[in-house]
Homo-oligomer: A and B are copies of this chain.
Amino acid sequence: MTPDDPARAVEAALFAAEAPMTVDALAQATGVADVSAALVRIQHDYADRGITLVEFGGRWRFQTAADLAHILRREREEPRRLSRAGVETLAIVAYHEPVSRAEIEAIRGVAVAKGTLDTLIEAGWVRPAGRREVPGRPLTYATTPGFLDHFGLASRRDLPGLDELRAAGLLDPLDAITSEVESGGDAA
């Protein structure tokens, strides 16, 4: 690279950034005109290295190569392990959002334990997403950009198997399918 190569500035900015950056933010930070070209160039340069340039939902960041996980994880504390209830609740929020607590409970067949949603909110993956305008005005929940970041998703459309589940009708509103079962099962 030559000293005035614009890719150098984009590379440095991404390297120093505390959060993923959009093309616009990069252009503003570096004054580089064609940020996209620089990003393509950098991504290519890092293709085989221990660090890679990735993009999720229009925001770019450097991260360590996925195949080196075993080396890097060794030294670190395992991040919060989610309980099974936590994992299921997170999946339900992600695939059904916005979703109320009652709807989560209807799918799981059990009450959502106090602390399950709290843990997900505290992890920065789930947020309250307004009230539903039905009797009782229940609060709904949805995922956050931090959720997409953590799981390496560009958007909710990238959720694994989303299209198949939708095609199979498994993401349909619950009351249409299960209201009868609920009246039996929910009491359960």
A residues lining the B interface (CB < 8 Å): 1-3, 7-13, 15-16, 29-31, 48-51, 62, 64-65, 67-68, 71-72, 74-75
How far is the CB of A142 from the nearest CB of chain B, in Å?
A: 30
Instruction: Offer 17 A-B interface pairs, CB within 8 angstroms, sorted by A.
Output: A1-B50, A3-B48, A3-B67, A8-B49, A8-B50, A9-B71, A12-B50, A12-B64, A12-B65, A13-B50, A13-B71, A16-B64, A16-B72, A29-B74, A29-B75, A30-B71, A31-B71
Nearest B residue to A15, CB-CB: B51
> Quick one: given A16-B64, A30-B71, A64-B16, are A51 and B11 in contact (CB under 8 Å)?
yes
Q: In the bound complex, do residue A65 and residue B29 qualify as a contact, i.e. CB atoms below 8 Å apart?
A: no
**Which residues of B lie under 8 Å from residue A2 when comparing CB positions?**
48
Q: In the bound complex, do residue A11 and residue B67 qualify as a contact, i.e. CB atoms below 8 Å apart?
A: no
Q: In the bound complex, do residue B3 and residue A50 qualify as a contact, i.e. CB atoms below 8 Å apart?
A: no
How far is the CB of A66 from the nearest CB of chain B, in Å?
A: 10
**Which residues of B lie under 8 Å from residue A50 when comparing CB positions?**
1, 7-13, 15
